[in-house]
Amino acid sequence: MNTFIPNLKLDIIATYKNHNQEWFNCAVKSHAVKSEKNLLNYIKKQLGYGDLIKLSLCWICKKNIVDKYKIIQNSIKINNGKYFFENNKLTKE
């Protein structure tokens, strides 16, 4: 089942090569936290432009939700909530 996870939201800043930054807040569906690929695809579907160069994420939830999902833990601890893109593909920066 692909439902929204209660008490979990994301603040997202999308930085583009040729457009102004976008900032938005969204709820998170259960399939999005199954893998990094799912998470990034879920977010990218909500973006206004295709020339993405950076996503900055702020997870809005309590610690028990962070502890429950490895993808959230990795996003915070490994990526510091930041994802960089080149030609709309994830890069390691």
The residue type of 15 is T
pLDDT band at 88 (very low <50, low <70, confident <90, very high): confident
What is the pTM assigned to this prediction? 0.92
Backbone φ and ψ for 62, nearest 5 degrees, come out as -85, 165
User: At residue 51, does pLDDT exceed 90?
Assistant: yes
Give me the mean pLDDT over the 43-68 stretch. Answer: 95
pLDDT tens, residue by residue, 69-86 = 999 999 999 999 999 999
- The enclosing H or E element of 40 equals helix 36-44
pLDDT, position 2 = 83
